[in-house]
Structure 1
Amino acid sequence: MGYALMRALLVALAVATFAAGPWPAEAAQPSKFAAKDSAEIQDCIKSKPGKEEACIGIVSEPCLNRDETKSTADMNACVDRELAVWDDILNETFRRLRDKLDAQQKEKLRDMQRAWIVSKEKTCAFYWDYFQGTMASPMAASCVNRETARRALFLLGFLVDADSSK
């Protein structure tokens, strides 16, 4: 089986697992995002096996393209709506994956995540360094959203594999 097909199957399985219902940690916390935004992203992931990255921006882009979205704060708010969903997916996927690993793998997962966080912060901060203006803020926010979504999808692939191997 080809890599792309295997990845598509793994991500589809992960989405089915994710969509099955809230995890205990989710149920205990108040929602930080609109349920419709979460449903839109999850539905998109399910409908695009192997092409899940196409789902990045499906909440923020329509918001950014509205006529009333004019200020930098408005732009950041649009991106933050979507980021809240991807961040929740990332954090819950990380927790669930970590729970399936042995002690050595848990340590390596933690170290990998810490390195990714530093990389994401340096990468997205470069918008400030390069553009040095008002537009750097929404550009950096979009970068954080994009990188968080990509990381969530990356870890989701491992979670699907861990779930399917038991």
Structure 2
Amino acid sequence: MKFKLAAAILAAGLPLASMAFAQDTAQSTAPADLAVIDACLKKVEKTGGFGSACVGLVADPCIKAAEGANDDVARWKACAARELAVWTQKTSEALKKVQAGGFADAIKAVNDSQKTFAASRDRLCAVFDNVDPGMYRGGASYCRLRETANRSLSLIKLGAAVNEH
């Protein structure tokens, strides 16, 4: 009975959760970028850490390599978009794991918050395109990467917690 209920909730809830990230999936995830983040997250999982040290592992070296080019800002944004694609995928995976846990209150809370997350994140991050590009390299794109990564890390922890059986 619990399995059928969880499956029904999962089927009903996934479209809502995935809609919030539809705009982020335009950039496909590069396997090498995903491997870098996955390797870091596996190390963090062993130590029980949160994973914040894994944020920027793709974008930061890419941004550093792009410094000095004529179109630094455009390249910085492209670097951030590469890693954002990874964290968007990680978020989708984490959402599925939370839903698979079968805890109705957790599923409802996550689905409700996902409905507004992308819009809230994008409103905040738009401000970073209006500051000196050197202050936050990649502007709104890098902000979206960081906000999505932090969200993903929280959902990964929640997914692990609700699936401990």
**Is 1:75 equivalent to 2:68 in the alignment?**
no
- 1:35-114 matched pairs, under 5 angstroms: 35-48=31-44, 49=47, 50-67=49-66, 70=69, 71=71, 72-114=73-115
Asked if 1:140 corresponds to 2:136, the answer is: no
Is the Cα contact below 8 Å between 2:63 and 2:137 reproduced in 1? Answer: no
Is 1:32 aligned with 2:28? Answer: yes
**Normalising by the residue count of structure 1, what TM-score does the alignment of the two structures yield?**
0.69
How far apart, CA to CA, are the structure 1 residues paired with 2:101 and 2:50?
26
Change (3 A) 1:67 1:137: closer
Q: Distance in 2 between matches of 1:69 and 1:93?
A: 37
| Matching residue of 2:154 | 154
Q: Which TM-score applies when normalising by structure 2?
A: 0.70
Deviations, residues 132-165 of structure 1 (Å, cap 9, x unaligned) = 879888211110000110011000011111121x
**Unpaired runs of 5+ in structure 1?**
1-30
Q: Distance in 2 between matches of 1:101 and 1:69?
A: 50
Which has the larger displacement, 136-145 or 36-45? 136-145
Aligned-residue RMSD, C-alpha: 2.6
How many percent of aligned residue pairs carry the same amino acid? 30
Q: Which runs of 5+ in 2 are unaligned?
A: 1-26
Number of aligned positions between the proteins: 134
Cα distance change, pair 149–136 in 1 and its aligned pair in 2 (3 A):
closer
Q: Per-residue deviation at 1:114?
A: 2.1
